[in-house]
Amino acid sequence: MSTLKLSNQTNFYKGKVRDVYTISDKYMVMQVSDRISAFDVVLPRPIPYKGQVLNQIAAQFLDATKDIVPNWMISVPLPNVTIGYKCETYPVEMVVRGFLTGHAWRTYKSGKRELCGVPLPEGMKENDRFPTPIITPTTKAHEGHDEDISREEIISSGLVSKDEYEQLEKYTLALFARGQEIAKSRGLILVDTKYEFGNIGGKIYLIDEIHTPDSSRYFYLEGYEERQAKGEPQKQLSKEFVREWLMENGFQGKDGQQVPEMTDEVIKGISDRYIELYEHVTAKKFVKEDVSEADMVKRIEEEIAKLG
């Protein structure tokens, strides 16, 4: 995917999987690529339709939560492009967890009973539900890994003011509750996710993608209780399957390790899984769309022209 040439472009940022264009210092054009990353490494081959899957899931959930908190999205002119407002980003990611899994479970298994300043109950096992969802924020790192941080550290260090942080917490829990409610209606459990927020003129906005399989973990609702009772692994709907394939083939992003060969068969398998994820999470049939670069630029320019 080559870099687009857009009118009135004032900035450009190439992320691991997204290209972000700033227009007139006021709007953002986010192009979600088919690049895929795991263990903080961008893998050598793109995954067809992955960008469209993530962009369209995020758009649907931004639309479904705009009554809770205003968000950055203005329009989705193309399957893998969203245009929205440029916000001053808060330097923390609001990670919210409803279950003891992933990083929280690894922390718990090591014997610790606190994560990001939040006490963890005794006597839990992997994938158990927390009595109430917990927020375990991280700092936003441009390079390398995000770092765990407590609400006390965020407020005392001045990263976010106390009033604003408390508002971010309220929004986070309300968004997570809505996400869990929608997931349940689709036979899924929203296990954990992360939200990012920004500010325009003192008003908080939800930014970036939400409730996608790259930023969230889902379990299948059917059979969850039985699997927990038997101590069996949960059936997951997330990007975890890509990490598992890499680990099975000796890659965890460590120095000296080689990414295993991504054959056409492997690529197709990952693409099919992303499409399957889309159809479960949105309850809609996925329609593959291919757009030429020239048409992409034309449609983005037309959309921005409407904004004035």
For 134-157, what is each residue's pLDDT tens digit? 999 999 865 556 799 999 999 999
89-237 CATH: 3.30.470.20
Asked if 217 contacts 189 with a C-beta cutoff of 8 angstroms, the reply is no
Write the pLDDT tens digit of every residue in 75-92.
999 999 999 999 999 999
Question: pTM, whole model, 2 decimals?
Answer: 0.92
Q: Write down the domain spans for the chain.
A: 9-88+264-307, 89-237
pLDDT for 145: 64
Looking at residue 237, its pLDDT comes to 82
| Within this chain, domains 9-88+264-307 and 89-237 share the same CATH topology | no
Could you tell me if residue 59 is left (phi over 0), alpha (psi between -120 and 50 degrees) or otherwise beta?
A: alpha
Q: How many CB atoms lie within 10 A of CB 134?
A: 20
Indicate if the pLDDT at residue 39 is higher than 90.
no
**Cα distances (angstroms) measured from residue 21 to each of 24, 29, 197, 272:** 10, 5, 18, 29
- The whole-number pLDDT of residue 28 equals 96
Summarize pLDDT for 258-298 with one digit per residue, the tens. 999 999 999 999 999 899 989 999 999 999 999 888 899 99
CATH code of the domain made up of 9-88+264-307: 3.30.200.20
